[in-house]
Amino acid sequence: MSNVLLLSLTFVAPGLALHAADFQIAKPTEFRQCVPADATVTKLAGDFTFTEGPTWIKAGGFLVFSDIPKDELKQWKPAGGTTTYRQPSYNANGNTTDPDGRLITCEHSGRRVALQEKSGTVRTLVDSFEGKKFNSPNDVVVKSDGTVWFTDPDYGLKTNPATKQKEGREQPGNFVYRHDPKSGTTTALVKDFVNPNGLAFSPDEKKLYVADSGTPKHIRVFDVKADGTVSGGQVFCKIDPGAPDGIRVDKAGRVWSSAGDGVQIFAPDGSLVGKILVPESPANLCFGGDDGRTLFITARKSLYSIKVAVAGAGR
């Protein structure tokens, strides 16, 4: 891309910064509103199997994330590093919190979206639609009204080596759902994704962004209607290299997406602002830290962070 200014900073800060910060900057002024010039990508922990689903637990001041194949939820604290938070996790993937600060988790092998009460008790929030089990809930976001929006691709189902078919599938497709815990109602909102994955609301919750990590490798944007359904769904941006997995929106309405080469940041009009290059391919990310201005990145076998100049939208 001709308008991309490649900045490769060879300076490595002393202390924890293990990697020089590498950025590809398409819009220098706006990129600096996202990432300070002196920011560096820091490897916080490694030797995991496959990391996903980071979410910042505000009340506790710590990060929770998934090691999917290891069947564990992990916890990272600014002082104290990484410990096991919950095991088994039923191959937990995406995590978020509800308006009460409770942890909400998508489970591959549990084939459900689970809620952890403040007491620590974990219970099923929803595990079926129209009497059929979900495929393998992947990622989740909770709207300020408490409704739970999640995706259900088939990545967590085993493929039969002979037939190449997914085993145990009950749903006729890979859908985007909305679950209302108050009424117990679950609605299939969008049915034409190949493999819907990360999802996030705009700051005013009038738009919903959903990644398709299947063959389209793009992010679509929907208008959220007052009745909780969505319309539209045009392509917002393409991700290259790799595919979009987890996505987040910042307070200014920019979309931050995982990609093969790192974290790619898009302006609200869908144009590329720039990229934070990461040594391993990120699958997900979240804003957190005391001031909400640390970006945590789960990337293959490791957990990374970088100080950023803006906080995330929502909680």
| Interactions with Mg ion, residue window 197-216 (CB under 5 A) | 197
- Residue 136 exposure: Cα atoms within 13 Å on the Cβ side: 20
**Per rule CB under 5 A, is residue 55 in the interface with Mg ion?**
no
Matching residue, tokens 């002979």: 162
- Judged by CB under 5 A, which of 245, 249, 259, 276 binds Mg ion? 245
Q: What's the closest the beta carbon of residue 13 comes to Mg ion, in angstroms?
A: 31
Q: How many Å separate Cα 308 from the centre of its chain? A: 17
Which part of the chain contacts Mg ion (CB under 5 A), choosing from 12-20, 132-140, 175-183, 290-298? 132-140
Would you say 23 or 134 has its CB closer to Mg ion? Answer: 134
C-alpha span between 69 and 92 (Å, rounded): 9
| Beta strand ranges found along 152-246 (DSSP E) | 176-180, 185-190, 196-201, 207-212, 218-224, 230-238
Would you say 75 or 298 has its CB closer to Mg ion? Answer: 298
Which part of the chain contacts Mg ion (CB under 5 A), choosing from 68-76, 108-116, 138-146, 232-240? 138-146
C-alpha span between 72 and 52 (Å, rounded): 11
Would you say 300 or 307 has its CB closer to Mg ion? Answer: 300
Cβ atoms 254, 273 nearer than 8 A: yes
What is the DSSP-derived secondary structure letter of residue 49?
A: S
Q: What's the closest the beta carbon of residue 141 comes to Mg ion, in angstroms?
A: 12
Would you say 24 or 257 has its CB closer to Mg ion? Answer: 257
Number of Cβ within a 10 Å radius of residue 113: 25
**Per rule CB under 5 A, is residue 138 in the interface with Mg ion?**
yes
C-alpha span between 257 and 264 (Å, rounded): 5
Q: What's the closest the beta carbon of residue 155 comes to Mg ion, in angstroms?
A: 8
Would you say 39 or 199 has its CB closer to Mg ion? Answer: 199
Which part of the chain contacts Mg ion (CB under 5 A), choosing from 107-115, 192-200, 230-238, 263-271? 192-200
Length of the chain in residues, anyone? Answer: 315
Question: How many chain residues interact with Mg ion (CB under 5 A)?
Answer: 4
- Judged by CB under 5 A, which of 22, 72, 139, 212 binds Mg ion? 139
**Per rule CB under 5 A, is residue 154 in the interface with Mg ion?**
no
**Per rule CB under 5 A, is residue 261 in the interface with Mg ion?**
no
Q: What's the closest the beta carbon of residue 295 comes to Mg ion, in angstroms?
A: 17
**Per rule CB under 5 A, is residue 152 in the interface with Mg ion?**
no
Q: How many Å separate Cα 7 from the centre of its chain? A: 26
Q: Determine the residue type at 8.
A: S
Phi and psi dihedrals of 32, rounded to 5?
Answer: -70, -20
Q: What's the closest the beta carbon of residue 53 comes to Mg ion, in angstroms?
A: 7
Terminal-residue alpha carbon distance, the chain: 35
What would the two tokens of residue 53 be? Answer: 């689903």
Q: Which helix H or strand E contains 272, and what residues bound it?
A: strand 272-277
Would you say 136 or 197 has its CB closer to Mg ion? Answer: 197
**Per rule CB under 5 A, is residue 250 in the interface with Mg ion?**
no
Q: What's the closest the beta carbon of residue 118 comes to Mg ion, in angstroms?
A: 26
**Per rule CB under 5 A, is residue 174 in the interface with Mg ion?**
no
Q: How many Å separate Cα 44 from the centre of its chain? A: 18
Contacts with Mg ion, residue ranges (CB under 5 A): 138-139, 197, 245
